[in-house]
Amino acid sequence: MKNKIYKCYFIILIFLFFTFTTVNLFIYGNDFSERENRYLAAFPQLTVQKLADGSFMKEFDSFACDRFVFRNFFVSLKGELERITLKKDNNGIHFGRNGYLIPAFEKNEAIVENNTNALIKLNETGKFSLSVCLVPTANEVKNKELPLFARNGYEKKTLNGVNGALKEKKVKVVEPLKSLLAHSNEYIYYKTDHHQTALGGYYMYESLGEALGYKPLKIESFKVKTLSENFFGTSFSKAGVTGYGPDRLQLFESDVKVTCDQGSFFDYSKLETKDKYAFFMGGNYAVATVTSSVKNGRRLAIIKDSYANNIVPFLANHFETIYMIDLRYFNGDLFEELYKFSVNDILVLQGISTFATDGSLSKITEIINSSAHLKTLGGEVKKGERVEDSYFADAVFIGDSLTDGLKLYAEAGGTFLSNTGISVTGVMSALSANGVSIAEQIKTTKGGKFYIMLGLNDSISSEEEIPAFIKNYGALIDAIKESNPKSPVYIQSLFPVSREREKKGDIKNSVIYKMNDALLKLAKEKNVYFLKVYEAVADDEGYLKEEITTDGVHLKPDNYKDWYNYLKSHAVPVYGEGKTDEIKNARFAGGGKYNPHKLAKALVEGVAFKDKLSEAGINSVKFLYGIEPESLLDGCVMAGGGSTAEEIAIFEFSGKEMKKLVEKKINERIEVKRKAYESYMPQEMAKLENPVVIITGDFAVLCICDNNKEAEKIITQFIKNR
């Protein structure tokens, strides 16, 4: 009888077991586990490959475990059992006093060492102003709440060890521990989460002020807003026990408006989910840009983990732009990114718990070793291997009449956003030679690299004016980087003027060299390249060589090649996604009946031009007039070095449509020139008032000169005699 009962019990057990197994087979549950904040493993794909290497089985094991029926119940059961058996922790979370669940401090010696070395190496590159702040955790700050004997001081030891090693190697270190300990009785860490509360974040922000150069706002100036009274954090999930929490999630609001390019800066929708800390920026991203309404132009890059998310809202009161890079997810070239951001100040802001267990910071070492970007980042480009003409195919040149010359006489490829008289101050409102707004073109042009040569037209006569000039220059660089984040930018030094020219008194070489120094500094700050192109044109005493200049400022046509050669031998490898080789072997369609070159020659000989006009290459038809050379039968453009407005353009074409177009383009060109010379060289405006424009059914001539009558005569004669 008793045996029978015994057996009955077991038969019931076996029945239960099979019922449960069957239920488990058919219930899969949700794909996403709120409690763990992760997607649960899916049923693995069955392939021969996966069977052979065993990955199918491994994935199935994870699947079986992740999707086990009533899993949450079982997980909690385990947590409770640990607590009942007097364990003081579960899954690495201490059951603390006063409702605190405190993560145990863990560290991996090798990781700590590698991360520390990576930061030292980053600092030693000398390219950035680096500050490091490791955020202590509740394990140290709230150690009063730890269970008996759990207080072991290892976190503090690690913090001190790392900070000491960094300081020894001259890395700027921020140590908030003292200040946090002074407030350790306050609610500065969540009880059920490893992060700091808004108040804790405020104290961090206070500690960071000195290193980052801002005066922290008083705590009273923030409006405290309670976001949720029902926050159960990650520690709660991990510990798997009841009787803890919830936490209160608060926000210290200030007046600044902040946006984030990855989504809402404050993501209120997350307050409805389990993961309420993701209220800050919606979580972690590889790269995120935060823009604040504080218009002070300050930029800061933060290499961060989730501890930073709570501190960034405070920093947004002092930085207009904050770039956040999370190296745990970011796998590109860090320096390309920092370059793109034009940022010089870097803050490493990580929880010490992350620093001690996650090796992603040591990616920096790899990047330093492999990044070609770093080698030339932010500074002078030294002479290197000579590049081919094709290097400039996707280059964009921004400049004044000198840059025009580079196009016209050195026949450099690429796009030219240049025009006579353009200054740094005026560049964003100027038109390029073919009459389109430069600002607009910077926005729309996808260049492989950008060359800037501006400043002579800013008429800087004393050192005091330089800072304002540099500020505008910086804005231009920012504008370029905004639209072409991956393309390198070259700042070209200004050319000095010749000894003769300096005597006039309005331009001093001493100021020009001061400007060049300031530009080099700017280049370093913005992490762009600097080219001492004056080396190609200056004599030993620093004056523009007399024999290569027409007016003491501009170069003789042949000498633009010297400059171009300098650019060719001072170029960096490019990693951007610029256009591929697009240099066109441009040519006219051919079959013309006139001989434009003959007319040009006649004009140059017959009309007394002030400047020495030379023939500009065929690309100038497109560059200056916006006409495709292929659509013309023949043509010729003659231009000066930039010291006058003088210019000759002769086009031969066929068809009414083409006539209309050529007429329109010539008029546009005149308009552009007028605008350019209006402020730059008002004395040249006379020539532009009413330049000679003669257009017949298949032939068009523009001649900008002093002697319209003579020019008209020569042209009419030429057309007649054809």
User: Rule CB under 8 A: which of 13-42 touch other proteins?
Assistant: 13-14, 16-18, 20-21, 24, 35-39, 41
β-strand partners of 290: 260, 322
Give the residue with the Cβ less far from other proteins, 31 or 124: 31
The minimum distance between CB 68 and other proteins, in angstroms, equals: 5
Give the residue with the Cβ less far from other proteins, 80 or 478: 80
Q: Which of residues 277-296 bind other proteins (CB under 8 A)?
A: 277-278, 283-286
Give the residue with the Cβ less far from other proteins, 207 or 354: 354
β-strand partners of 299: 321
Query: For other proteins, which residue of 140, 145, 305, 345 counts as binding (CB under 8 A)?
Result: 305
The dihedral region occupied by 560, where left means phi > 0, alpha psi between -120 and 50, and beta the remainder, is alpha
Please give the distance of CA 358 from its chain centroid, rounded to a whole number.
26
Candidate ranges 61-69, 452-460, 573-581, 652-660; the one touching other proteins (CB under 8 A):
61-69
Please name the residue that has the structure tokens 């206070």. 206
Distance between CA atoms of 592 and 665, rounded to whole angstroms? Answer: 20
Give the residue with the Cβ less far from other proteins, 114 or 654: 114
Give the count of residues interacting with other proteins (CB under 8 A): 71
The minimum distance between CB 458 and other proteins, in angstroms, equals: 47
Query: For other proteins, which residue of 15, 31, 43, 53 counts as binding (CB under 8 A)?
Result: 53
Distance between CA atoms of 151 and 454, rounded to whole angstroms? Answer: 63
Contact (Cβ atoms closer than 8 angstroms) between residue 313 and residue 251:
yes
Distance between CA atoms of 327 and 305, rounded to whole angstroms? Answer: 8
Contact (Cβ atoms closer than 8 angstroms) between residue 243 and residue 174:
no
The minimum distance between CB 61 and other proteins, in angstroms, equals: 5
Please name the residue that has the structure tokens 């929490």. 245
Give the residue with the Cβ less far from other proteins, 141 or 711: 141
Residue type, position 555, single letter: L
The residue length of the chain stands at 722
Q: How far apart are the first and last CA of the chain?
A: 131
β-strand partners of 634: 652
- Among 459, 435, 470, smallest CA distance to 679 is for 459
Distance between CA atoms of 14 and 41, rounded to whole angstroms? Answer: 29
Tell me the C-alpha to C-alpha distance, in Å, between residue 542 and each of 144, 494, 500: 69, 12, 13
The minimum distance between CB 315 and other proteins, in angstroms, equals: 20
DSSP letters for 290-343: EEES--S--EEEEEE-HHHHTTHHHHTTT-SEEEEE-TTT--S-HHHHHHHHT-
Q: Which of residues 127-146 bind other proteins (CB under 8 A)?
A: none
Pairing assessment for the beta strands 89-90 and 93-95 based on DSSP bridges:
antiparallel
The minimum distance between CB 22 and other proteins, in angstroms, equals: 8
Query: For other proteins, which residue of 43, 46, 61, 546 counts as binding (CB under 8 A)?
Result: 61
Q: Which of residues 475-494 bind other proteins (CB under 8 A)?
A: none
Give the residue with the Cβ less far from other proteins, 7 or 521: 7
The minimum distance between CB 246 and other proteins, in angstroms, equals: 16
Please name the residue that has the structure tokens 């505008």. 472
The minimum distance between CB 182 and other proteins, in angstroms, equals: 24
Q: Which of residues 208-247 bind other proteins (CB under 8 A)?
A: 234, 237-238, 240
Q: Which of residues 380-409 bind other proteins (CB under 8 A)?
A: none
Largest CA-CA distance found in the chain, in angstroms, rounded: 135
The dihedral region occupied by 566, where left means phi > 0, alpha psi between -120 and 50, and beta the remainder, is alpha
Q: Which of residues 317-336 bind other proteins (CB under 8 A)?
A: 328-329
Give the residue with the Cβ less far from other proteins, 35 or 501: 35
Query: For other proteins, which residue of 149, 580, 585, 683 counts as binding (CB under 8 A)?
Result: 149
- In the shown chain, the binding pattern of residues 194 to 213 toward other proteins, with x for contact by CB under 8 A and - for none, equals x-------------------
Give the residue with the Cβ less far from other proteins, 146 or 211: 146
Q: Which of residues 66-105 bind other proteins (CB under 8 A)?
A: 66, 68, 71, 74-75, 77-79, 81, 85-89, 91
Give the residue with the Cβ less far from other proteins, 284 or 516: 284
Distance between CA atoms of 474 and 526, rounded to whole angstroms? Answer: 8
Give the residue with the Cβ less far from other proteins, 22 or 296: 22
The minimum distance between CB 485 and other proteins, in angstroms, equals: 22
Query: What is the phi/psi pair of residue 388, to 5°?
Result: -80, 170
Give the residue with the Cβ less far from other proteins, 65 or 182: 65
Give the residue with the Cβ less far from other proteins, 205 or 277: 277
β-strand partners of 319: none
Give the residue with the Cβ less far from other proteins, 65 or 608: 65
**By the rule CB under 8 A, 275 interacts with other proteins:** yes
By CB atoms closer than 10 A (0-12, 13-18, 19+), residue 646 is buried
The minimum distance between CB 254 and other proteins, in angstroms, equals: 25
The minimum distance between CB 7 and other proteins, in angstroms, equals: 6
Please give the distance of CA 155 from its chain centroid, rounded to a whole number.
35
Query: For other proteins, which residue of 27, 46, 99, 109 counts as binding (CB under 8 A)?
Result: 109
Q: Which of residues 169-198 bind other proteins (CB under 8 A)?
A: 194
Distance between CA atoms of 717 and 713, rounded to whole angstroms? Answer: 6
Q: Which of residues 150-169 bind other proteins (CB under 8 A)?
A: 150-152, 154
The minimum distance between CB 108 and other proteins, in angstroms, equals: 9
